[in-house]
């Protein structure tokens, strides 16, 4: 096995470990770490929950007593640049230096302003050999939410809808089911993986959705609704206090309310407020007007669209994407799922 292929194999394991943190670590990134001594993994770990130990610490702590003498002569693989600042936990660079590790292999740099190459430079200044860019593309894809949050200064925006074979997502003032049971279960899994879920006024009013996670295990997302004059009925599931709901409005009489936004820039203002609150990803489940406005204004990153075999013939037209590319196509029983990415 060549040295380069060895680096790839161990970094693949880092990414596999990191993915276990999906839906658990935001607004932190998902990170995995592997410690290798003479082509033998002696430790591994990942960031398991926000506020708890980072991947590097869990990796080092996992080393068995009989292998601890090998730590300083091992190579540490990490899917993201080690942090060099104190937050809820001490800096990982300090632990690396404390254990006198001589070589660190990193997939990609951390875009967070307090890190952003500083962790790498600190290690190099201390004499540690640092290799960058191993499976960098895959590492960036894994942490697309975290990277978007810090580079775009807004949450990663995932659009989701289901449409009929003839391009409709529903009927006026009527709730109808388009996607199948298996697709619905997948949507509940997606909800557990994102920080927040957002629906438009009419979707809240007509469908009265719970917007929680019921068909799988996982945490409930923050619920978001834009209700311009606070006219939504108070007995909707959105307001059952079973999970956090952000109820944005434009009422001048409540201008001091943190959820007040300007009507002319309501979409930008909501995204800005979500950024300030540390919401790193949001899934928008409709309705058509909200979805189309996000598309037209360029406030989206990914779209997941189910298409059924059934026909509606008349009703609410599905949103129209533009400036996009298909990145995944999957059949789910009688539904077809297409995943799109926005072209930048």
Catalytic residues: 56
Nearest CA to 159 out of 204, 197, 122, 206 is that of 197
Q: Is 173 strand, coil or helix?
A: coil
Q: How far, CA to CA in Å, does 315 sit from each of 23, 166, 293, 296?
A: 35, 10, 19, 21
- Of 141, 181, 148, 161, nearest to 284 (Cα)? 161
Cβ neighbours of residue 268 closer than 8 Å, sequence gap 6 or more: 297, 299
Strands (E), 178-284: 196-199, 222-226, 245-248, 281-284
**Distance separating alpha carbons of residues 248 and 66, to the nearest angstrom:** 57
Give the span between the Cα atoms of 281 and 198, in whole angstroms.
Answer: 11
Its sign, for the CA torsion 109, 110, 113, 114, is negative
Q: What CA–CA distance (Å, rounded) separates 228 from 289?
A: 14
Q: State the angle between helix axes of 266-276 and 288-297 in degrees (0 to 180), rounded to the nearest 10.
A: 80
């Amino acid at each position: 096995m060549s040295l380069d292929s060895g680096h790839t194999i161990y970094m693949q394991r880092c990414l596999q470990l990191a993915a276990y943190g999906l839906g658990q670590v935001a607004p932190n990134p998902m990170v995995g770490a592997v410690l290798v001594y003479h082509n033998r993994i002696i430790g591994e770990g990942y960031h398991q929950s926000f506020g708890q130990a980072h991947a590097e610490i869990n990796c080092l702590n996992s080393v068995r007593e009989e292998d601890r003498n090998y730590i300083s002569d091992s190579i540490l693989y990490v899917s993201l640049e080690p942090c060099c600042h104190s937050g809820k936990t001490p800096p990982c660079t300090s632990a690396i230096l404390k254990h006198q590790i001589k070589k660190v292999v990193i997939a990609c740099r951390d875009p967070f302003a307090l890190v952003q190459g500083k962790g790498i430079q600190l290690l190099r200044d201390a004499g540690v050999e640092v290799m960058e860019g191993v499976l960098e593309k895959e590492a960036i894809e894994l942490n697309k939410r975290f990277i978007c949050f810090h580079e775009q200064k807004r949450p990663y925006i995932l659009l989701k809808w289901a449409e009929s074979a003839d391009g409709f997502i529903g009927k006026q003032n009527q709730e109808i089911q388009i996607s199948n049971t298996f697709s619905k279960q997948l949507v509940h899994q997606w909800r557990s993986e994102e920080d927040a879920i957002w629906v438009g006024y009419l979707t809240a009013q007509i469908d009265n959705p719970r917007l929680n996670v019921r068909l799988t295990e996982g945490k409930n997302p923050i619920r978001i609704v834009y209700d311009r004059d606070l006219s939504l009925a108070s007995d909707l599931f959105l307001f059952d206090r079973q999970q956090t709901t952000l109820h944005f409005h434009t009422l001048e009489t409540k201008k001091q309310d943190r959820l007040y936004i300007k009507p002319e820039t309501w979409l930008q203002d909501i995204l800005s407020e979500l950024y300030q609150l540390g919401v790193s990803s949001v899934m928008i489940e409709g309705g058509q007007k909200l979805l189309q406005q996000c598309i037209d204004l360029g406030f989206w990153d990914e779209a997941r669209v189910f298409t059924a075999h059934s026909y509606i013939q008349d009703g609410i037209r599905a949103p129209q994407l533009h400036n996009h590319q298909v990145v995944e196509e999957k059949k789910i029983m009688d539904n077809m799922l297409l995943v799109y990415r926005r072209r930048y």
